[in-house]
Amino acid sequence: MNVAIGQPIRRVEDDRLLRGQGRFLEDVRLAHEAQAVVLRSPHAHAHIRLLDPSAARAAPGVLAVLTHADLAAEGVKSLPPMTRDPRYEIKNSDGSRMPEPEHWPLAKDKVRHVGDPVAFVVAETRAQALDAAALIAVDYDPLPAVIDAASARAPGAPVLHDGAPGNRVLEWSVGDRKATDDAFAKAHRVTRLKLHNNRLICAYLEPRAAMASVTGDAITLYASGQGAHRFRETLSFCLGVAQDDVRVVMGDVGGGFGPRGFFQPENVLVALAARRLGRPVRWIGDRAESFTTDVQARDHAIECAVALDANGRFLALDVSSDWNMGAYVPARAVFAQIAHMGPVMPGAYRFPALHFTLRGYLTNMAPIYALRGIGRAEASHILERLIEEAAHEMKLDRVEIRRRNLVPASAMPYDNKAGSTYDSGEFEAIMDKALDLADWRGFGARKAQSRARGLLRGIGLCNFVENAGGAPSEFAEVKADPARRLDLYVGSGPSGQGHETVYAQVLAAELGLPFEDVRTHIGDTAIVKAGYGSAASRSMRKAGSAVVLGARIMIEKGKILAGDMMEATPADIEYQAGWFRVAGTDKSVHLYDVAAHARAKGEELSGAIDHKQPEETFPNGCQVAEVEIDPETGKVDLVRHSFVNDVGRVINPLLLDGQLHGGVAQGIGQAMTERTVYDADGQLLSGSFMDYCIPRADDMPFFATAFHEVPCAGNPLGVKGAGEGGTTGAPPAILNAIIDALRDFGATDIDMPAAPETVWRAMGARRPG
Amino acid sequence: MYAFNYHRAKSVDEAVKLQKSASEGSFLAGGHTLIPTMKQRLAKPSDVIDISGLKELQGISVAGGTVTIGAATRHGDVANSPEVKKAIPALADLAGHIGDPQVRNRGTIGGSLANNDPAADYPAAVLGLGATVHTNKRAIEADKYFKGLFETALEQGEVITKVTFPVAEKAAYMKFPNPASRYALVGVFVAKTKGGVRVAVTGAGPGVFRSADMEKALGASFEADAVASIKVSSKNLNSDIHASADYRAHLVTVMAKRAVAKANS
Ligand SMILES: Cc1cc2nc3c(=O)[nH]c(=O)nc-3n(C[C@H](O)[C@H](O)[C@H](O)COP(=O)(O)OP(=O)(O)OC[C@H]3O[C@@H](n4cnc5c(N)ncnc54)[C@H](O)[C@@H]3O)c2cc1C
């Protein structure tokens, strides 16, 4: 099949996955495996006074019980927070460096959240390991728990890490304090809000797991993550071994969304145990462990204000957020949060002045990490809620106030005063397209119909701009095989998105060869030479670009070889759809024959590149949500959801729709159903799917999506990134719709998630019944 | 999970004997409650006695104004039964809204009643219709069967064999599902029966209960308006991360009103 960019090719991986032939971690079986379980802290905060594994070590079937003492004896290092790694370092606004709290794979002297690993038990069977874990004597001396940023910074609060006095990790600002204050002082109106961007549990389908085997010095880690090479780097760091001695294998990954990019402590533990025992060690976490010990997301207590002139034009934006970071600082978490929140704080709007401060605090909860839309979801929540209330207070039309303040396409490239220069964007055109798609004008009639059925109805919108970033470089290598196939090696792999399909599509389209010729190789450091991984909507932009550039390098090499074969100079040779041709003649050789010629000479017809492309891109869009609310119960039904997106050039509209739908679904979760609850002692109360509500198919309407392609000039494919717009734009659109429906009750704000009781309470004294 | 002995009983009598001789024997029906607790090591039966396949516990029949449902009958079978749909549509409707299709294809009425989860649906129908729970030893009236949070009148080793429901003149169930678990945050079953009006509430309190105020009001006039202004006290109701007692109390009124309207429609 000949394919082109922009063609809705179906996912090649689905046949395998739907037939149960996926190879997730639990499907990997190694000979002579030993089974491991983790003993975890039942306390949120406690000193470990005594830890005695001797009874467990003597229990039937037990092969090893590791505690922190064993890590120390083997010289294992703490997981690196990387706040001081030059690649990711951001300094506090006062110039000071951020602390690097230790994060041991097994607790040293102290536990800091429920589920913190305390001991690692390896036995012949999982049941034996569980039995033995129950025999470990641990004497905890409980400390008071800190469960939000406000109490973390209160004087006299219990301190989690000695290296982080006051539990403070960071205080970082962007913008002009004085200009912002001046603008507020002379504003016609100021609208203020206090918001909480709710803590989320990612809940990917495949629970965490890890496996390792060791032969001599060579360690193989079977892991589930978002980039094999990053994990190799971290494991070699923690164990103090050469990267060449570590191989990381990632098969199919059952959902990533960001949190799977975190290098979990168990990766170190399986490797250490396998090295010690000389046999493979397997750890498969269960869902309960996922709830308490997966890295979580968001959790910002926000104060924000917008200053406006008499015409509703924005004069300034002032935002501060206290970020509840949980018990540890995972690698790159600070970088990801700051880099994706500050620089897009003004979104699609013009603010002559702005200021944003982010303060981060440690608490006795699961650590926070990047989750789909990190930073941008918080920024759009802030902006679009503020704008909505400002319009209401000033009695301005909600669309009109946005229109007056959007950055016009003519202003591109646009410096947003928060550290970003938007290369392109047609925000107003996109908003208008979305309003049409949503039939904004027909809303009144639909509202009347709802009213006739005793229901409230509301509509809301959200314009957003994201910055798709991620590590600067990504690797791809293309090899032509004389057996008439193309082998493609890429450093960034999928956790469900369909990379195998789109990489092959990009390569086949670039070379003009059949799609079926491409074999994509991903996720094994022994096969793929380099790589970073998926994060920040970067794979198509960076890895996709590397695929194109790798193919072009291969073609240039091919011209030399073809010139050799046809006795022509490479400069005279053209390449098209598989054929190298001497220009102006009928002399040609096929790419695969050139590959055979190369092979005969002991060479390869291939092209590899570790493509560096540090610029960010700015995917953007507009979402419109429409809800119906049962006024007697507060139950919200999302009845329509429309979404127009500029992701740059569209590679595969079918897979893109999948990304958009999935992203919106996750945004619906944050806006309407997902509530992470810890009690005052730091116990997780929403610790199962019976208590933590992930939205289901029947919570969703059919989505209406449309594209508005404004190709990005910064990469050969013209793509901007598609993974996170859904999650970024959906929550504020939904909240604004709910508040619109509740205006008659005097509601001016609503917490996420807008669960039935929350909505019922927001109706206040005027609610029925 | 801990290791256990598995037995497939050939009769109720044998199941009872096996249970008695075990140091800690558990009956297994649909397993949708028992197996998860075993997996989490919260339950540690020495012996699991599978009664799910017993012929004498299966089946649905309607005769003489009574619907009889064998204890091992699955929710899905009740929901889809033409006989039940005809005799007591509210009962089929209730069964059709338990959990999701997977749950309905495994879970059984006997398991649900033996477990008596405070948010389960069947207890509302059993109490609301004034049904009778039959065991290998005796027949227990609904009013004497439910004893609060996960407690019932069942004794050690007693097996529910069937449940008999008197056909009501009118009946309906309204459930406000917990968005996460889809169990009842509040569920109200109303029935106009030969012996009078019955209103049973599940999900709201520590166990299913009847509302005397509502029964009285509906006895006088079986109309939605009759209960619309009856407020239920939140004093003994559940308060948890999903809903406060006040909100649950409010929902009892709303669901009762809607159930009456549905029964009348
Ligand atoms: C995801 C999920 C969602 C659910 N949603 C709902 C819901 O919305 N509404 C609802 O009402 N329920 C719900 N349930 C519960 C389900 O409907 C089952 O009814 C319930 O789990 C018990 O039935 P079972 O047959 O599976 O019992 P088991 O798990 O097999 O047994 C439960 C207990 O009852 C005992 N037992 C079983 N049968 C008998 C008998 N005949 N005599 C004496 N003792 C017996 C067992 O020994 C055990 O102690 C849900 C369950 C799950 C897993």
pLDDT digits (tens, 9 = 90+) for A167-187: 999 999 999 999 999 999 999
Residue A62 has pLDDT above 80, yes or no: yes
Residue A713 has pLDDT above 90, yes or no: no
Residue A494 and residue A23 in contact, taking contact as beta carbons nearer than 8 Å: no
Q: Tell me, yes or no, whether A474 and A460 share the same domain.
A: no
pLDDT for the residue numbered B182: 95
Interchain pair A691, B242: CB under 8 A: yes
pLDDT in tens, A1-40: 999 999 999 999 999 999 999 999 999 999 999 999 999 9
What's residue A140's pLDDT? 98
Tell me, yes or no, whether B183 and B251 share the same domain: yes
Say if residue B85 is in the same domain as residue B62. Answer: yes
| Contact: A633, B253; criterion CB under 8 Å | no
**Helices vs strands, H then E, count in chain B:** 12, 12
What is the average pLDDT across B251-257?
A: 98
Does B42 contact A at CB distance below 8 Å?
Answer: no
Provide the percentage of residues in chain A whose pLDDT is more than 90.
97
Indicate yes or no: CB of B244 within 8 angstroms of CB of A757: yes
Range of the domain at B90: 58-166
pLDDT of residue A767: 86
pLDDT of B201: 98
Q: Examine residue A747 and state whether it is found in any structural domain, yes or no.
A: yes
Residues A642 and A764 in one domain: yes
- Whether residues A479 and A605 share a domain: the answer is yes
For residue A190, tell me if it sits in a domain: no
**Amino acid identity for residue A514 in this structure:** P
Range of the domain at A483: 470-612
Write down the mean pLDDT value for chain B: 97
Residues pairing with A642 in the sheet: A624, A704
Cα separation, A521 vs A651, in Å, equals: 20
Q: Are residues B147 and B175 in the same domain?
A: no
- Say yes or no for a CB contact (<8 Å) between A689 and B244: no
Number of domains in chain B: 3
Same domain, A624 and A708: yes
Domain of B249: which CATH number? Answer: 3.30.390.50
pLDDT of B164 higher than 80: yes
Asked if A511 and A574 sit in the same domain, the reply is yes
Contacts of B167 (CB under 8 A, 6+ apart): B62, B65, B66, B67, B87, B88
- Please report the atom of ligand 1 found closest to the CA of residue B57: 41
Average pLDDT, chain A: 97
pLDDT digits (tens, 9 = 90+) for A494-531: 999 999 999 999 999 999 999 999 999 999 999 999 99
Q: Which atom of ligand 1 is nearest to the CA of B99?
A: 5
Count the helices and strands in chain A (H runs, E runs). 20, 28
* Residues of chain B found within 8 Å of residue A635, distances taken between Cβ atoms: 176
Per-residue pLDDT for A769 more than 80?
no
Please answer whether residues A638 and A741 qualify as being in contact, where contact means their C-beta atoms are separated by less than 8 angstroms: no
For B180, which of A130, A692, A757 is closest by C-beta distance?
A692
pLDDT in tens, A365-393: 999 999 999 999 999 999 999 999 999 99
Q: 10 Å Cβ neighbour count for A205? A: 10
* Same domain (yes/no): B161, B184: no
A624 and A569 share one domain: no
| pLDDT of amino acid A646 | 97
**What pLDDT score was predicted for residue A445?**
98
Residue A554 located in a structural domain: yes
Give the CATH number for residue A710: 3.30.365.10
What does A410-479 look like in DSSP terms, one character per residue?
Answer: GG-SEE-SSS-EE----HHHHHHHHHHHTTGGGHHHHHHHHHHTT-EEEEEEEEEE--B---SEEEEEEE
B25 and B42 in a common domain? yes
Residue B153 sits in the same domain as residue B184: no
H-only helix segments in B60-151: 75-80, 82-87, 89-95, 101-104, 109-115, 122-129, 142-145
Has residue A140 been placed in a domain?
Answer: no
Q: What is the pLDDT of residue B226?
A: 98
pLDDT in tens, A308-326: 999 999 999 999 999 999 9
Q: Is the dihedral of CA A424, A465, A610, A577 positive or negative?
A: negative
| Domain-embedded: residue A499 | yes
Q: Are residues A564 and A545 in the same domain?
A: yes
Question: Residue A765 above 90 pLDDT?
Answer: no
CA–CA separation, A681 vs A694, rounded Å? 25
Nearest to A633 among B1, B242, B251 (CB): B251
Task: Tokens for A211, please give them.
Answer: 């496996």
What is the DSSP code (8-state) at residue A679?
-
When pLDDT is cut at 50, 70 and 90, the band that residue A766 belongs to is confident
Q: How many CB atoms neighbour CB A42 within 10 A?
A: 16
Say yes or no: B177 and B238 in one domain: yes
Q: Which of residues 651-680 of A touch B (CB under 8 A)?
A: 673, 675, 677
Q: How far apart are CA A15 and CA A27, in angstroms?
A: 17
Say whether both A624 and A761 belong to one domain: yes
For residue B41, the chain A residues in CB contact (below 8 A) are: 130
Nearest to A642 by CA among A383, A386, A401, A443: A443
CA dist B147 and B126 (Å) reads 13
For residue B123, give the ligand 1 atom closest to its CA.
11
Residue contacts between A and B (CB atoms, under 8 Å): 46
C-alpha gyration radius of chain B: 18
Determine the distance in angstroms separating the CA of B254 from the nearest CA of chain A, rounded to an integer: 7
pLDDT in the model for residue A471: 82
Q: How many domains does chain A have?
A: 2
Please indicate, yes or no, whether residues B45 and B31 belong to a single structural domain of this protein: yes
Residue A737 located in a structural domain: yes
Q: Is the pLDDT of residue B55 over 80?
A: yes
Rg (CA), chain A: 27
pLDDT in tens, A202-232: 999 999 999 999 999 999 999 999 999 999 9
Ligand 1 atom with the shortest distance to the CA of B43: 49
Decide if A620 contacts A425 (C-beta within 8 A). yes
Nearest CA owner, ligand 1 atom 23: B111
Q: Do B180 and A760 touch (CB under 8 A)?
A: no
C-alpha of residue B35 to centroid of ligand 1, in Å: 10
Ligand 1 atom showing the smallest separation from residue B183 Cα: 8
Helix, strand, coil share (%) of chain A residues, nearest 5 = 35, 25, 40
Residue A701 placed within a domain = yes
Q: What's the token pair of residue A359?
A: 């303060």
- Flag whether pLDDT at B197 surpasses 90: yes
Q: Which residues line ligand 1 (CB under 6 A)?
A: B 26-34, 51, 71, 75, 98-99, 103, 106-108, 110-112, 114-115, 120-122, 159-160, 182-183
- Asked if A739 and A764 touch (Cβ cutoff 8 Å), the reply is no
CATH number, domain containing residue B34: 3.30.43.10
**Residue owning tokens 């098969």:** A251
d(CA B244, CA B237) in angstroms, rounded, equals 8
**What percentage of residues in chain A have a pLDDT greater than 70?**
100
Domain identity same for B16 and B33? yes
Closest residue to atom 2 of ligand 1, CA basis: B99
The residues, ordered by sequence, that sit 6+ positions from A477 with a Cβ below 8 Å of its Cβ are A488, A489, A528, A529, A550, A606, A607, A608, A609
**Residue A12: exposure state from Cβ atoms within 10 A (0-12, 13-18, ≥19):** middle
User: What pLDDT is attached to residue A470?
Assistant: 80
Single out the residue in B166, B198, B218 at which a domain terminates: B166
Task: Indicate the residue among A595, A612, A629 that finishes a domain.
Answer: A612
Dump pLDDT digits (tens) for A654-708: 999 999 999 999 999 999 999 999 999 999 999 999 999 999 999 999 999 999 9
Q: Are residues B178 and B151 in the same domain?
A: no
Is the same domain home to A627 and A719? yes
Same domain, B42 and B86: no
Domain boundary among A562, A597, A612: A612
Residues A453, A483: one domain? no
State the distance from the centre of ligand 1 to the C-alpha of B34, rounded, in angstroms.
7
CATH code for the domain of B83? 3.30.465.10
Percent of chain B residues topping a pLDDT of 70? 100
A633 touches chain B (CB under 8 A): yes
Q: Looking at A494-498, A612-616, B255-259, which range is the least confident one?
A: A612-616
Tokens 């520590």 belong to residue: B206
A637 shares a domain with A530? no
Residue that finishes a domain, picked among A612, A643, A674: A612
Q: Could you give the ipTM of this predicted complex?
A: 0.96
Examine residue A204 and state whether it is found in any structural domain, yes or no.
no
Q: Which of A81-85, A216-220, A446-450, A591-595 shows the lowest per-residue confidence on average (mean pLDDT)?
A: A81-85
pLDDT band with cut points at 50, 70 and 90 for residue A613 = confident
CA end-to-end span of chain B: 48
Structure tokens belonging to residue B141: 């009236």
A40 touches chain B (CB under 8 A): no
Element (H, E) at A538: none
- Specify whether B162 is located in the same domain as B194: no
Each residue's pLDDT tens digit, A461-491 = 999 999 998 888 999 999 999 999 999 999 9
Q: How would you classify the pairing of strands A137-142 and A46-52?
A: antiparallel
Residue of B nearest to A691 (CA): B180
